Chain A
């Protein structure tokens, strides 16, 4: 579920946005999804057309029992002399139909109750949760036998009951996600703006649970199919009705005589459940990952970045950070897309440089590439980055790591998601210091407390011992700043350090940054979309649009006399009091095609 919540965070706006495509298109581009869906389609089609493709599955000619294939009977005959092919098709009908019923029942019970329990909580949550536990604790065999006795011994009844028994898994899933989502900002905002609960659930909550539910459906369908087979095996099956489970069971009875019998129903079951699992995992990629392609093996990646090109547009390079002709690419080969192109930036010691642009302009990608922490799939494909005189493009990971924390440090955008929820604040501050500075546990703890004091936290001891979820967002950002300072860096990369904070807290944190910068003589690369912050803090500013730097210069000069039309619109937007983050428009790649996933 955390996946759903953070899908916008794990790739910062600048990176994720341009690579978003419609789920359908992403689906069609995912070979695993397409192939598994095709397989399921073929199975479903064959099964639906069973009456046309085969004969009566019940017709038995005992003298042909165990006989091999013959014209009209491509798979031969089973132990009762029935046509295996036709039983396979008709059996699929019943098996898949049964699984569908179980699914439908489970969904129609589990999802609504999960939504309501998760969203409203209170007594309904308590009751529903208990009921879920109750159903899971019920002895399935007893329930199945009793329902057979009451409702008759047909497979359909069993599958309905099975649906009820599986429903808690949907309930728990949905309830868990919704309960977390409920506290999220955008739902709060929706609530404040007066939307009715029903609309909030429909517009905001359902979208979040959609992906996990679809995935769970594929998994549960697989489980329902195999359970159906299992029930046959236990002798509480379908009687005369052909099903894959019944076929497998029959094959098992005759395994000594004709082991090959297991093959067909086993294959049918195996292929169907495998296709379902593969489809589920592909759907997961499509719906939740934004279709990040798996990264190429390390060696290949390294080979690609090994040759930095020094551009002649360079001019003098700053001592602390100097970026030349930087390009960041996602994907490989023909489908590779540059999200950052030809970027030049310099940050001198003690200098604050702003990097501004809309969401998706590539500013965060630029920041990440300096730190060498691009999201998976991304790589520096061209250019040069010098940090304190060291070329980091193509630098072995180990030496690069030595720069991070010590020379260059990072303050992230979203304070709450950038602290490990499993460790205390103190633990997270102490760890890098012990590792990087070789301090003892005690010394590191003292230093951490000192740092907390420096970032103006009133009660350092309490915060030190607190878990991230126990402190406020502003507090968390201070902690992150303290963490960035902990190993005395020279260069600070701050990625929208105040965006996620309340207005009053924003001012305090900016003030803190300014003070620390002044005290320590830090060079700062401040990534932001907020021109106010730039005006307030920065010596120089670079404006980015669609992966390129469009304008660079002294802050006062750029803000008062913008040269580039884009810079002008940005400034006008602020003056007009328009929303700080205008609706995002899909940028075009260089060739004009929409950026693929």
Chain B
């Protein structure tokens, strides 16, 4: 198990390196004229050229990458071209916001999706139909419609929750809870819809397995068969989906972050990428890859724990 983890981490490091290089090259492709964006439309050309040189953008791409890599290895990811903030600090401020959402959504999804999925998969019939319909509706509703309605109802009309902003967990736990509840709710609708269908189908799959029939034939009570054997076997594919969902939220919560005015990774990625703020984007890319590697590793270890056969493979 340990060797498996170490090997995966090493592969992850290599991945980190390659992704950083490819991203760096890709970033230099769109000629975003950062200098002129910084100086404004009315800046004279000589000033633009001077600024370009100041940012090192007149250097060849490989030299710039080598420079960046050297600094990064020394733990310095540079400062943003557009806001002068230290990249590490900036990400450090924003990552907790996104992680809060990710953890919250994953938790809500795990609990609700498993309950609904198991319920539907075991009972089938009308319950199953209802859960399926809910799943389809949740999946098909445009995300921002859901988010807008949630803001309007729970924040603007009822005033139960703040409409915007984020209070760090370290500042105030109830404050944090109040600022992340609605965003998590908004994101969970589609996530629960998707994952519950996955759980349902896994449960149905497992219920049809021969060993379930054999267990029943041994006289084990259905509840025990379900919770001990079916759930454990059905959890692995659902966990994989949940893991992918988690990774997807890293950059996928843009809309929710924007509407709730949350300073998270998602909206940061979009705005800084469209501007071409290379140091920040590279920092974000690195963060994302690390998260992806860690989450995938975690999911694999968990699946391996649940399913000994996967461990051997």
Binding site for B on A (CB under 8 A): 2-3, 6, 9-10, 130, 133-134, 136-143, 145-146, 148-150, 179, 222, 226, 229-230, 233-236, 248, 252, 255, 262, 266, 269-271, 273-274, 277-278, 281, 284, 294-297, 368, 371, 373, 375-376, 397, 401-406, 409-410, 412, 414, 417-423, 428, 431-432, 435-436, 467, 469-470, 480, 483-484, 486-487, 493
Tell whether, in the assembled complex, residue B19 and residue A252 are in contact, meaning their CB atoms are under 8 Å apart: no
Tell whether, in the assembled complex, residue A137 and residue B288 are in contact, meaning their CB atoms are under 8 Å apart: yes
Tell whether, in the assembled complex, residue A146 and residue B219 are in contact, meaning their CB atoms are under 8 Å apart: no
Q: Looking at the assembled complex, report how far the CB atom of B20 sits from the nearest CB atom of chain A, in whole angstroms.
A: 10
What is the bound-complex CA distance between A422 and B313, given in angstroms? 14
Quick check: is B170 within 8 A (CB to CB) of the other chain? no
What is the bound-complex CA distance between A207 and B96, given in angstroms? 46
What is the bound-complex CA distance between A376 and B26, given in angstroms? 54
Tell whether, in the assembled complex, residue A6 and residue B209 are in contact, meaning their CB atoms are under 8 Å apart: yes
Quick check: is B210 within 8 A (CB to CB) of the other chain? yes
Q: Looking at the assembled complex, report how far the CB atom of A477 sits from the nearest CB atom of chain B, in whole angstroms.
A: 12
Q: Report how many residues on chain B are interfacial, defined by Cβ distance under 8 Å.
A: 73
What is the bound-complex CA distance between A273 and B307, given in angstroms? 33
Quick check: is B130 within 8 A (CB to CB) of the other chain? no
* Stretch binding the partner chain, chosen from B69-77, B86-94, B133-141: B133-141
9 nearest interchain CB pairs?
A: A405-B219, A149-B30, A410-B217, A404-B219, A146-B26, A10-B208, A270-B140, A274-B140, A417-B210
List 13 interface pairs A-B (beta carbons < 8 Å), by A numbering.
A10-B210, A133-B11, A137-B292, A138-B23, A145-B274, A146-B30, A149-B30, A270-B141, A274-B139, A371-B217, A373-B213, A401-B221, A405-B220
Tell whether, in the assembled complex, residue B211 and residue A418 are in contact, meaning their CB atoms are under 8 Å apart: yes
Q: A233-B144, A404-B219 are in contact. Are A412 and B213 (CB under 8 A)?
A: yes
B211 contact set on A, CB distance < 8 A = 417-421
What is the bound-complex CA distance between A184 and B275, given in angstroms? 53
Task: Give the one of B140, B141, B207, B306 with max A CB within 10 A.
Answer: B140
Q: Looking at the assembled complex, report how far the CB atom of B292 sits from the nearest CB atom of chain A, in whole angstroms.
A: 5
Q: Looking at the assembled complex, report how far the CB atom of B217 sits from the nearest CB atom of chain A, in whole angstroms.
A: 4
B30 contact set on A, CB distance < 8 A = 145-146, 148-149
Quick check: is B289 within 8 A (CB to CB) of the other chain? yes
Tell whether, in the assembled complex, residue B218 and residue A141 are in contact, meaning their CB atoms are under 8 Å apart: no
Tell whether, in the assembled complex, residue A255 and residue B209 are in contact, meaning their CB atoms are under 8 Å apart: no
Tell whether, in the assembled complex, residue B128 and residue A146 are in contact, meaning their CB atoms are under 8 Å apart: no
Tell whether, in the assembled complex, residue B217 and residue A139 are in contact, meaning their CB atoms are under 8 Å apart: no
Q: A234-B270, A431-B220 are in contact. Are A142 and B15 (CB under 8 A)?
A: no
Interface residues of B in 287-303 (CB under 8 A from A): 288-289, 292-293, 296
B217 contact set on A, CB distance < 8 A = 371, 373, 404-405, 409-410, 412, 493
What is the bound-complex CA distance between A266 and B217, given in angstroms? 50
What is the bound-complex CA distance between A521 and B11, given in angstroms? 60
B18 contact set on A, CB distance < 8 A = 134
What is the bound-complex CA distance between A436 and B221, given in angstroms? 10
Q: A139-B251, A417-B209 are in contact. Are A432 and B218 (CB under 8 A)?
A: yes
Tell whether, in the assembled complex, residue B15 and residue A130 are in contact, meaning their CB atoms are under 8 Å apart: yes
B136 contact set on A, CB distance < 8 A = 274, 277-278
Residue of B nearest to A140 (CB): B251
Tell whether, in the assembled complex, residue A414 and residue B210 are in contact, meaning their CB atoms are under 8 Å apart: yes
Q: Looking at the assembled complex, report how far the CB atom of A204 sits from the nearest CB atom of chain B, in whole angstroms.
A: 21
What is the bound-complex CA distance between A373 and B224, given in angstroms? 16
What is the bound-complex CA distance between A412 and B214, given in angstroms? 7
- Contact partner of B11 (CB less than 8 A), chosen from A6, A130, A140, is A130
Q: A233-B255, A278-B136 are in contact. Are A269 and B142 (CB under 8 A)?
A: yes
B126 contact set on A, CB distance < 8 A = 297
What is the bound-complex CA distance between A9 and B208, given in angstroms? 9
What is the bound-complex CA distance between A108 and B132, given in angstroms? 31
Tell whether, in the assembled complex, residue A3 and residue B254 are in contact, meaning their CB atoms are under 8 Å apart: no
Q: Looking at the assembled complex, report how far the CB atom of A383 sits from the nearest CB atom of chain B, in whole angstroms.
A: 20
What is the bound-complex CA distance between A235 and B258, given in angstroms? 13
A271 contact set on B, CB distance < 8 A = 140
Task: Give the one of B219, B221, B254 with max A CB within 10 A.
Answer: B219
A368 contact set on B, CB distance < 8 A = 213
Q: A149-B30, A234-B270, A269-B142 are in contact. Are A255 and B218 (CB under 8 A)?
A: no
Binding site for A on B (CB under 8 A): 11, 15, 18-19, 22-23, 26-27, 29-31, 124-126, 128, 132, 135-137, 139-145, 148, 197, 201, 205-211, 213-222, 224, 228-229, 232-233, 247, 251, 254-255, 269-270, 273-274, 281, 284-285, 288-289, 292-293, 296, 306-309, 312-313
Q: A294-B124, A376-B124, A404-B217 are in contact. Are A418 and B309 (CB under 8 A)?
A: no
Tell whether, in the assembled complex, residue A137 and residue B139 are in contact, meaning their CB atoms are under 8 Å apart: no
Tell whether, in the assembled complex, residue B232 and residue A422 are in contact, meaning their CB atoms are under 8 Å apart: yes
Q: Looking at the assembled complex, report how far the CB atom of A279 sits from the nearest CB atom of chain B, in whole angstroms.
A: 11
Q: Looking at the assembled complex, report how far the CB atom of B184 sits from the nearest CB atom of chain A, in whole angstroms.
A: 19
What is the bound-complex CA distance between A483 and B215, given in angstroms? 10
- Contact partner of B29 (CB less than 8 A), chosen from A130, A149, A234, A412, is A149
B228 contact set on A, CB distance < 8 A = 431
Q: A222-B139, A270-B141, A270-B142 are in contact. Are A139 and B210 (CB under 8 A)?
A: no
A412 contact set on B, CB distance < 8 A = 210, 213-214, 217
- Contact partner of A141 (CB less than 8 A), chosen from B22, B251, B313, is B251
Tell whether, in the assembled complex, residue B307 and residue A141 are in contact, meaning their CB atoms are under 8 Å apart: no
- Contact partner of B219 (CB less than 8 A), chosen from A252, A270, A402, A470, is A402
Q: Looking at the assembled complex, report how far the CB atom of A460 sits from the nearest CB atom of chain B, in whole angstroms.
A: 19
Residue of B nearest to A141 (CB): B273
What is the bound-complex CA distance between A226 and B247, given in angstroms? 18
What is the bound-complex CA distance between A194 and B213, given in angstroms? 37
Tell whether, in the assembled complex, residue B218 and residue A2 are in contact, meaning their CB atoms are under 8 Å apart: no
Tell whether, in the assembled complex, residue B23 and residue A139 are in contact, meaning their CB atoms are under 8 Å apart: yes
Q: Looking at the assembled complex, report how far the CB atom of A370 sits from the nearest CB atom of chain B, in whole angstroms.
A: 10
B285 contact set on A, CB distance < 8 A = 139, 142
A405 contact set on B, CB distance < 8 A = 217-220
Residue of B nearest to A421 (CB): B309
Residue of B nearest to A368 (CB): B213
Q: A294-B125, A297-B125 are in contact. Are A418 and B214 (CB under 8 A)?
A: yes
Q: Looking at the assembled complex, report how far the CB atom of B117 sits from the nearest CB atom of chain A, in whole angstroms.
A: 13
What is the bound-complex CA distance between A400 and B136, given in angstroms? 38
What is the bound-complex CA distance between A376 and B140, given in angstroms? 30
- Contact partner of B208 (CB less than 8 A), chosen from A375, A401, A422, A432, is A375
Tell whether, in the assembled complex, residue A483 and residue B218 are in contact, meaning their CB atoms are under 8 Å apart: yes
Q: A234-B270, A432-B219, A483-B218 are in contact. Are A274 and B137 (CB under 8 A)?
A: yes
Tell whether, in the assembled complex, residue B27 and residue A142 are in contact, meaning their CB atoms are under 8 Å apart: yes
What is the bound-complex CA distance between A35 and B112, given in angstroms? 29
Task: Give the one of B31, B273, B284 with max A CB within 10 A.
Answer: B273
19 extra A-B contacts, CB within 8 A, seeds A139-B288, A404-B219: A3-B208, A10-B208, A10-B210, A137-B293, A139-B269, A139-B281, A146-B27, A148-B30, A226-B142, A274-B137, A375-B208, A401-B221, A406-B219, A420-B215, A422-B306, A431-B224, A432-B218, A435-B219, A436-B218
- Contact partner of B233 (CB less than 8 A), chosen from A255, A373, A421, is A421
Tell whether, in the assembled complex, residue B142 and residue A248 are in contact, meaning their CB atoms are under 8 Å apart: yes
What is the bound-complex CA distance between A401 and B224, given in angstroms? 13
Tell whether, in the assembled complex, residue B132 and residue A134 are in contact, meaning their CB atoms are under 8 Å apart: no
Residue of A nearest to B144 (CB): A252
Task: Give the one of B143, B144, B309 with max A CB within 10 A.
Answer: B144
